[in-house]
Amino acid sequence: MNEGRCLCGSVTWEVSAEPYAVYNCHCRMCQKAHGAAFGTYCFFKADQFRWTSSTETVVHYESSEHLVRSSCDVCGSVVPYANKAGDHWVTPGGCHDTMRKPDYNIFVVDNSPWHTINGDMPRCDTYPEESGIPSVEGLPVPQKTDGPVRGSCLCGAVTFQITEPFKVAHNCHCSRCRYGRAAAHATNGFVTYDGVQFLSGEERLKSYKVPDARFFTQVFCDVCSSIMPRRDSERGIAVIPLASLDDDPGIRPVDHIFVDHKAAWHDITDDLPRFPEGPPPE
């Protein structure tokens, strides 16, 4: 038995078998929905999955003709959803840690320039042929820009631009990021408080602060639940999920932080420095 939950704990579930397939999906839609370099999905038959909470806070967004994504309306975390055949797609970022490792990196052609897909896990440009899942047209891959770096949510209601250079970016493996993003890890860039300017949809932003956290707050679009930039007045910074950006921000993550809290099913395969807890003081 493997249990999972969203960041706020309103939505919980359990699965009663090993997944029959596990994919790391690098498509731009998963990037935006999760606010992460990739989403990871474990596939289960309908009778191997069950909700263990009310699903009152689960909301839905149709991101393509084949897929209706689900998320928690309180905290913005992606939660499991079923495809038309009734199979369940479960995000192990929000599961306890005994899930097996992924089989494939999929939609690798959509990978963002700030993330390097490493390791020898097999790669596919769309879904593996054996899955029989129909492919979908993706969003464009971010390119270099001469102007301000632009960003948006999956539904397009929220748009913003970054008006100053990024100071740093980290891959964060802490459990709050893993549950919040429902992914292996977050990749966040940092600018000053005034370094992000919302162009549309700022009134659509919802936020959820983890009650026992000093700062940890997740900001998301109330239509599509994509994870959006968060301004932190106390620290004078803005935290930008690089996955929400539509242009290449130029910056690349400098390290992996909180690796003592890393998901057991995820291997770090690049050479960036690793820190057991937070980054060393600047």
CB of 156 to Zn ion, least distance (A): 7
Q: Which is nearer to Zn ion, 243 or 263 (CB)?
A: 243
CB of 5 to Zn ion, least distance (A): 8
CB of 94 to Zn ion, least distance (A): 9
| Token duo for residue 58 | 């689960």
Rg (CA), the chain: 17
Applying CB under 5 A, the residues found at the interface with Zn ion are 6, 8, 10, 25, 27, 30, 72, 74-75, 153, 155, 157, 221, 223-224
Q: Which is nearer to Zn ion, 5 or 231 (CB)?
A: 5
CB neighbourhood size of 223 (10 A): 17
Rounded to an integer, what distance in angstroms lies between the CA atom of residue 21 and that of residue 8? 27
CB of 33 to Zn ion, least distance (A): 8
What b/e string do you get for 39-60 counting C-beta neighbours within 10 Å, with b at 16 or more?
bbbbbbeeebbeeeeeeebbbe
CB of 280 to Zn ion, least distance (A): 32
Rounded to an integer, what distance in angstroms lies between the CA atom of residue 233 and that of residue 238? 8
Q: Which is nearer to Zn ion, 55 or 192 (CB)?
A: 55
Q: Which is nearer to Zn ion, 134 or 276 (CB)?
A: 134
CB of 134 to Zn ion, least distance (A): 13
Q: Which is nearer to Zn ion, 213 or 234 (CB)?
A: 213
Counted residue by residue, the chain has a size of 282
CB of 64 to Zn ion, least distance (A): 10
Residue 64 is which amino acid?
S
Residue 99 is which amino acid?
M
Q: Are strands 168-172 and 256-257 parallel, antiparallel or unpaired?
A: parallel
Q: Which is nearer to Zn ion, 10 or 259 (CB)?
A: 10
Q: Which is nearer to Zn ion, 157 or 237 (CB)?
A: 157
Q: Which is nearer to Zn ion, 60 or 235 (CB)?
A: 60
Burial class (CB within 10 angstroms; exposed 0-12, middle 13-18, buried 19+) of 26: buried
CB of 115 to Zn ion, least distance (A): 14
Rounded to an integer, what distance in angstroms lies between the CA atom of residue 276 and that of residue 282? 16
80 Cβ neighbours under 8 A, 6+ residues apart? 4, 13, 49, 70, 88, 89, 90, 91
Asked if 157 and 223 touch (Cβ cutoff 8 Å), the reply is yes
